[in-house]
Structures are given as structure tokens and as C-alpha cells.
């Protein structure tokens, strides 16, 4: 994958310091945001990143003039009052987004639902469709929004106590009876990676209300532009970065962090380390298990989120893609089979035409593979071929003859995601967003080692770009508040 332009480079070797206030391992969005706030406050910060482009899952790559987003399709909360919008403002970043309206579609075998960008409008549409559930829908969303606000403000309130141990399915059942309605309200579970019977109510609420109330947005020029804007600010603030530099070890001086050793053997010293990478890798590999045993055992028992198969298609001229609505294509006819195979399809060129050569288009599909199944795969090449073929066949149901128009075809498996980001088994969302791994049960930002902090989707509040922006920002504040 090539960077979208040449603005993105490592700091020249002769400019690097022998000692940093903080080294951030990983230039995912959380690591970049954390680094940018620390650098803005005068700290000497170095980010080390194994890949030659920053962004982790929020990167893009080019093939024959088509600019494909590697993983992220849209970002929540980029408006003036959303967390991402506020973060960009604080960092002095100005960039443009396309607000997505409608926010999404749910395509079931027998009917399609359009999810509008406005939550009140969505509630009215659901009440019109299910008049016998009118008051229940109102009550459900009243609590759902309250719960969102409480988690957003990190409150220990009654509403958190009421729902923190419930799955999303259990929360739905408190209010609603109509099975089809509950299926619709669960149709976006792919954005947190667990079906309603296993997903935490808090996790679903954080994702859904964030998109429905604070908006879903697409960065002008693609998702790499979002990353690059934060990256460039970090450099403007005096931050240093080493791309293509894998951290191999977190150095310790007794029980305190003292720096990072890179794969090439180079040791760089620092007062603090922030890890933005896979949590198992941090503790079992980079720290070689030198953490209190109960903590290690806890990590060992935790479960990572699911991964996906991704298909990227560059499509030639003269093809009508109007039937391909952006959203989830479910095979399920009822709520109990909602965890079957689904695909999420988007045509980003409908939002931002400059991502492809004139009059050409991009189709991107994400296919859910149950994590247990893809973990057992040994022949990734044939897995990729089979999945590519079956996904194109599924797309042909909506766009006949699509095969004849494909000019560029590429795909990523869970193995590819793991190779580019080192997330275990290509986990899309860090730890699975189950009741026992969210809110206070997710890893805290402070690790049980002095001067080591954690940021990103393996920590609180959870997965998704908006959440990891909040994590990166929060960890920077924690470090600054402690006068480090």
C-alpha cells in the first residue's frame, strides 16, 4: 500500500533526540491524537510505527488511479459538537467532511430500511412503521440517549448501573416485543462486531447514538486524509516519527519504563511509553510477560473481536450502481439468524467522486467471517479467492454483469489486516465488545507498570475512530495532569 502523497515521511535521522519525554508505539489514530496533544503542550514526543504509512486501520491505498480506503468507511462525531470535531478544533486542524445522509441502509431479504441522519426522524419513522410499539420506541430511545450521555461524561450514574451488565438483546427485550423491529434496531451490529445476544448494551449505545446523534462523516479525499491531517499537526508541533520501525521491546529500569527497543536493535530512551498496539503484544511480547501475574492471566482470558474479509473493486465507466445502497446486506430473515454471514457495501465515489478517475467508481465490501472460522484457515490464498468470487457473485444480484466492468480488484483477509496492523487475527475492534469487556471491564489507560499508558481500541472507551480519538486525547490529558 502506498501513501497517498509525499507529505508523510519519517523524521530525518540526524534530527532525532537521544531522549524523549514520551515514546508512542503505533501511529493508529489513538497514538497520533495522543502524540499531537502531548507535542502541542511542549513535550518531546516520538512515535514509532511498523508500517510505512501512519493510520493503522484508517489508511488508504492507490491502484491504477483508484484511491481505496483500507478499512474505515466513515467516522462518527466530526461535527462542531462531536468529540472528533472538538478534538480537531483543539488541535487547530481544519478539514472538510461529507455528512452522510441517509446515515445507512439495512437490506434484509424481504425489505429495506433507510436510516436517516437525524435521530428524531428515525424514531418517527420507526413509530409510523410499528404504531403498536410507539410508546415503547420512545421509552427505549429515551434510556438509550441517557445511557450514551452518561458514558460520554464518564459518570457513575444510575442509568449505567441499570444497563452495564446487560447485553443489547436484553435491553431491547425490556422495552420491545416486535421481533422485526428488534431485528432492525440490531441491524448495525457489524459496527461493533458482536450480534445483539452477545454485544454489550453500552457498546451498542455508544456506537449507534454516536452515529445517529453526532452524525457519520466521510473525510474529503478519503480516510487517509483524516490521518494525514493529524500526522501533519503532530509534526508542526515538533513531534518526531519513525515509520517502518517496529518496536520489539519496552525497556524497563526495575519496575519503571525507560524506553523502547526497535526491531533493528536500536534503543531509544524515554520517561514514558504509550502503547497504541494490540494489548497481548504489549504485555506478552514487548514486556515479555514482566507484569503482575493476575493482570497477565486476565489478559490471557480476554477475547478479541471478530475480523472481516474486504473486497476493493475499481469499476469502469457506463455502469449503473444506483441499486447498490450503502449499508448492511443481511441474509437473516429473523433476529435469531442475524449473526449469519452479512456484507456491508459502500460506493465511496458516490460521496467523493475524486477517489476514482473521471466517471469511474469504487465499490467496497466488508464481509463478516465468524472469528472462529477464519482462525482455522491455513490456506489464505484460496480463502481469498473463494471469498472474492462469492462476494462478487452476491454483488451481481444488485448489479448484473458487474464482472465485465471490474478494472481493479484487490482483497484483504483477516491475515492481511493482521500483517498491516499486528492486531491479533486481524481483530477489527480490539477486545470483543461484550458485557465483560466493556466500560470498567475494558483495560484502563494506565498499565500496571510505572510510566506505561495504553491507548486505542484495546482500551476504554472502545472501538471505532471516534472512541479512539477520545482515548488518545484522554491519555494525553492524564499524562499532562500528572505533570509528566
- Applying CB under 6 A, which residues contact ligand FAD? 25-31, 48-51, 56-58, 71-75, 246-247, 276-277, 308, 310, 366, 417, 421-423, 428-429, 456-457, 463-466, 468
Cis amide prior to 102 (ω within 30 degrees): yes
* Measured torsion, CA atoms of residues 461, 462, 467, 473, in degrees rounded to the nearest 10: 50
Nearer to ligand FAD, 395 or 454 (CB): 454
Helix (H) or strand (E) holding 62: strand 60-63
Give the nearest distance from C-beta 356 to ligand FAD in angstroms.
19
Nearer to ligand FAD, 72 or 343 (CB): 72
Give the nearest distance from C-beta 128 to ligand FAD in angstroms.
29
Give the nearest distance from C-beta 333 to ligand FAD in angstroms.
26
Rg of the chain over all Cα atoms, to the nearest angstrom: 22
Give the nearest distance from C-beta 483 to ligand FAD in angstroms.
25
Contact 26, 260 (CB under 8 A): no
Q: Print the SS3 string covering 126-155.
A: HHHHCHHHHHHHHHHHHHHHHHHHHHHCCC
Give the nearest distance from C-beta 468 to ligand FAD in angstroms.
4
Nearer to ligand FAD, 40 or 51 (CB): 51
Contact 17, 194 (CB under 8 A): no
Helix (H, G, I), strand (E, B) or coil at 15: helix
Find the length of the chain. Answer: 484
Give the nearest distance from C-beta 332 to ligand FAD in angstroms.
20
Q: What angle do CA 323, 329, 332 make, to 5 degrees?
A: 135
Nearer to ligand FAD, 123 or 476 (CB): 476
Separation CA 337–CA 130 (nearest Å): 22
Give the nearest distance from C-beta 448 to ligand FAD in angstroms.
20
Nearer to ligand FAD, 73 or 146 (CB): 73
* Measured torsion, CA atoms of residues 43, 46, 52, 56, in degrees rounded to the nearest 10: -60
Q: What angle do CA 49, 53, 54 make, to 5 degrees?
A: 60
* Measured torsion, CA atoms of residues 117, 120, 126, 132, in degrees rounded to the nearest 10: 180
Give the nearest distance from C-beta 100 to ligand FAD in angstroms.
10
Helix (H, G, I), strand (E, B) or coil at 282: helix
Nearer to ligand FAD, 126 or 412 (CB): 412
Contact 387, 278 (CB under 8 A): no
Give the nearest distance from C-beta 236 to ligand FAD in angstroms.
20
Distance of CA 449 to the CA centre of its chain: 27
Nearer to ligand FAD, 136 or 470 (CB): 470
Nearer to ligand FAD, 147 or 417 (CB): 417
Nearer to ligand FAD, 157 or 249 (CB): 249
Amino acid at each position: 500500500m502506498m501513501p497517498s502523497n509525499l507529505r508523510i515521511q519519517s523524521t530525518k535521522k540526524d534530527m532525532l533526540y537521544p531522549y524523549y519525554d514520551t515514546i508512542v508505539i503505533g501511529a493508529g489514530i489513538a497514538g497520533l491524537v495522543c502524540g499531537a496533544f502531548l507535542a502541542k503542550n511542549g513535550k518531546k514526543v516520538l512515535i514509532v510505527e511498523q508500517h510505512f504509512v501512519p493510520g493503522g486501520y484508517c489508511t488508504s491505498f492507490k491502484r491504477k488511479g483508484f484511491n481505496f480506503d483500507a478499512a474505515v468507511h466513515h467516522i462518527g462525531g466530526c461535527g462542531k459538537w462531536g468529540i472528533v470535531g472538538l478534538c480537531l478544533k483543539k488541535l487547530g486542524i481544519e478539514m472538510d467532511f461529507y455528512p452522510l445522509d441517509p446515515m445507512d441502509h439495512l437490506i434484509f431479504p424481504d425489505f429495506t430500511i433507510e436510516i436517516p441522519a437525524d435521530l428524531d426522524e428515525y424514531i418517527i419513522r420507526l413509530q409510523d412503521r410499528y404504531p403498536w410499539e410507539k410508546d415503547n420506541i420512545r421509552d427505549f430511545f429515551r434510556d438509550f440517549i441517557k445511557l450514551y450521555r452518561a458514558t460520554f461524561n464518564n459518570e457513575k450514574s444510575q442509568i449505567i448501573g441499570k444497563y452495564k451488565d446487560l447485553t443489547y438483546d436484553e435491553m431491547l427485550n425490556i422495552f420491545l416485543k416486535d421481533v422485526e423491529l428488534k431485528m432492525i434496531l440490531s441491524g448495525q451490529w457489524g459496527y461493533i462486531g458482536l450480534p445483539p445476544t452477545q454485544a454489550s448494551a453500552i457498546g451498542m449505545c455508544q456506537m449507534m447514538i454516536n452515529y445517529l446523534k453526532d452524525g457519520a462523516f466521510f473525510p474529503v479525499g478519503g480516510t487517509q486524509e483524516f490521518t494525514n491531517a493529524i500526522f501533519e499537526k503532530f509534526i508542526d508541533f515538533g513531534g518526531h516519527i519513525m515509520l517502518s520501525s517496529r518496536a520489539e521491546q519496552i525497556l524497563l529500569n526495575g519496575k519503571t519504563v525507560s524506553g523502547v527497543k526497535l526491531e533493528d536493535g536500536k534503543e531509544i530512551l524515554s520517561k514514558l511509553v504509550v502503547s497504541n498496539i494490540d494489548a497481548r503484544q504489549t504485555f506478552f511480547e514487548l514486556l515479555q510477560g514482566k507484569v503482575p501475574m493476575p493482570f497477565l492471566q486476565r489478559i490471557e482470558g480476554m477475547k478479541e473481536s471478530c475480523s472481516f474479509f474486504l473486497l476493493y473493486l475499481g469499476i469502469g465507466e457506463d455502469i449503473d450502481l444506483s441499486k447498490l445502497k450503502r449499508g448492511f446486506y443481511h441474509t437473516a430473515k429473523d433476529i435469531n439468524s442475524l449473526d449469519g454471514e452479512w456484507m456491508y457495501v459502500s460506493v465511496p465515489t458516490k460521496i467523493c467522486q475524486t477517489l476514482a478517475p473521471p466517471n469511474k467508481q469504487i465499490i467496497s465490501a466488508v464481509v463478516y467471517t465468524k472469528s472462529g472460522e477464519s482462525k482455522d484457515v491455513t490456506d489464505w490464498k484460496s480463502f481469498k479467492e473463494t471469498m472474492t468470487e462469492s462476494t462478487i457473485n452476491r454483488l451481481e444480484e444488485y448489479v448484473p454483469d458487474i464482472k465485465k466492468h471490474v478494472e481493479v480488484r484487490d482483497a484483504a483477509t483477516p491475515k492481511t489486516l493482521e500483517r498491516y496492523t499486528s492486531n491479533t487475527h486481524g481483530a477489527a475492534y480490539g477486545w470483543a465488545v461484550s458485557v465483560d469487556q466493556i466500560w470498567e471491564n475494558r483495560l484502563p489507560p494506565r498499565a500496571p507498570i510505572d510510566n506505561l499508558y495504553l491507548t486505542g481500541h484495546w482500551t476504554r472507551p472502545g472501538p471505532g475512530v471516534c472512541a479512539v480519538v477520545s482515548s488518545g486525547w484522554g491519555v494525553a490529558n492524564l499524562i499532562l495532569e500528572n505533570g509528566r
